[in-house]
Amino acid sequence: MRNKTGREMGCCENSAKRCLIVLNSLSLLAGLVFIAGGIVITVNLGSYLKYLAVGNIKVAADFLNSAPLIFIGFGAVIFIISLCGCCGAYTEKVWLLKVYKVSLVIILLVLVVIAVLAFCFKSSLRMALHVAMLNFLHTHHKSSKVFNLVQTQLQCCGVDTYMDWQSNLQWTQAAHERADAAGIERHTHPVPDSCCVNPTPNCGLSTFGDNIKNIHLNGCAKTLWQSFSTRGDMVGMSGLVVGGLLLISIVFSCCVINFIRENGGRVTSYA
């Protein structure tokens, strides 16, 4: 029911159209943030994700290895749909705006599902990461490059503490043999050279007395999880912003569609 003049209604319509274009422009930027976030995770954490390929937790491994691609793909979808929304609002095509609105509803539902799953399985993923790292430490002779990379870049040693290396009897025995060959006094807790503050050959074979100051004492599990969590929080905040923009955009798209129908296919513009 109309109780306003044509000019008043036209101004309202034009404002809704402009707001929809602005919101979709912001959504375009948000989509780019998701794409950039996926690329950052791939570049910075790609090597660490290999942890979860160890042991019997292949599901977690597949999930975390595909996570960057999911972010990139999701960002690309948001970018494309937002571009369609801008075009639909600017050209005032009802069918394009309908496609845009339905797409937004689907994306919003997907975001809610992802948020719920991430919240429910956060503890399970952390436990899986811890178990995988322990398995990885016990098979260090087969996959030393990745573990050494993590210890060097994150400045940590072992899983929970540097003494974890003692649980790998095969590695400890080999370390003692290397210490004997190099004329270095044996110690109960030798560590890989990547645990050293300033890595040098055989620097981790003697870790008693004042020499313990030359190695990183904190474990890698907590540090690695914090790396995941920090980036996950950034992505989560981006998701909240995108979700809010999607919800508001859905409302404005419905308004613009109704205005166009009531106005015979066009939104009146006013200077």
pLDDT tens digits, one per residue of 119-149: 777 777 788 778 878 877 877 655 567 778 8
Q: Give the model's pLDDT for residue 115.
A: 76
pLDDT category, 48, cuts 50, 70, 90? low
Does residue 253 register a pLDDT over 50? yes
Ranking 10-19, 125-134, 154-163, 178-187 by mean pLDDT, the lowest is 10-19
**What are 221-246's pLDDT values in tens digits?**
888 888 777 777 777 777 777 778 77
pLDDT digits (tens, 9 = 90+) for 65-84: 676 787 788 888 888 888 88
Give the residue-averaged pLDDT of 78-96: 82
Angle between helices 58-91 and 220-262 (to 10 degrees): 30
DSSP 3-15: -S-HHHHHHHHHH
79 or 114: whose pLDDT is higher? 79
What CATH number is given for 127-221 in this structure?
A: 1.10.1450
Q: Is 261 left (phi over 0), alpha (psi -120 to 50) or beta?
A: alpha
Residue 59 has pLDDT above 60, yes or no: no
Mean pLDDT of the chain: 75
Q: Looking at residue 1, what is its pLDDT?
A: 36
- Core vs surface per residue 162-172: b (16+ CB within 10 A) or e: bebbbebeebb
pLDDT in tens, 162-178: 888 888 888 888 888 88
Please give the pLDDT value at position 15. Answer: 76
Low-confidence winner among 6-15, 105-114, 136-145 (lowest mean pLDDT): 6-15
Residue 252 pLDDT grade (very low, low, confident, very high; cuts 50, 70, 90): confident
Global pTM value: 0.56
